[in-house]
Amino acid sequence: MRMSGLQALPDILARNLDVVFCGINPGLTAAATGHHFAGRGNRFWRVLHRAGFTPQEIRPEEGQTILRYRCGLTTVVERPTARADEVSAWEFADAAARLEQKIVTHAPRHVAFLGKVAYSALSGQKGITWGRQPTSIGGAAVWILPNPSGRNRAYTLDQLVSAYRPLHQALHGE
């Protein structure tokens, strides 16, 4: 799907995955290259590796290989933007049913939202905490993890890894 000259990213999904990581929306670099988390400062692939989800750091252009590790990728909103705060409340509302249908169709065990913004907009909840939530979407347990964007300087790389590791442990009964 094309939007404002930039292409929405294709989902990287399969049925019965352990977890689907759900970004807010594609960044401009990701949309321009056609690869999830391709921005120079984005730490997603490094964090995934260091938290134990993948045996090596995946390059954005090899993103499809994440399926080998029972992980998938999608975004809540398809429209690429320079910053997540450019996504409007109505775009989140418009995306809610589509996202839930993806989760129902692909039946992952867990869905991990990368940042509180999207889940708050979808759920209508305020004051969301990090980690596993007491709710589910389409039968998948919901997790809220910090956004790995290079623009999110509230978290160091080590702090991001520490935030993602409990999900990995939950997946593997550690």
Give the catalytic positions in this structure: 25, 36
Question: If you search the block for the tokens 């623009």, which residue do you land on?
Answer: 151
* Rounded-to-integer distance, Cα 77 and Cα 118, Å: 9
Nearest to 168 by CA among 116, 106, 109, 102: 109
Question: If you search the block for the tokens 């990287």, which residue do you land on?
Answer: 12
Nearest to 43 by CA among 170, 140, 156: 156
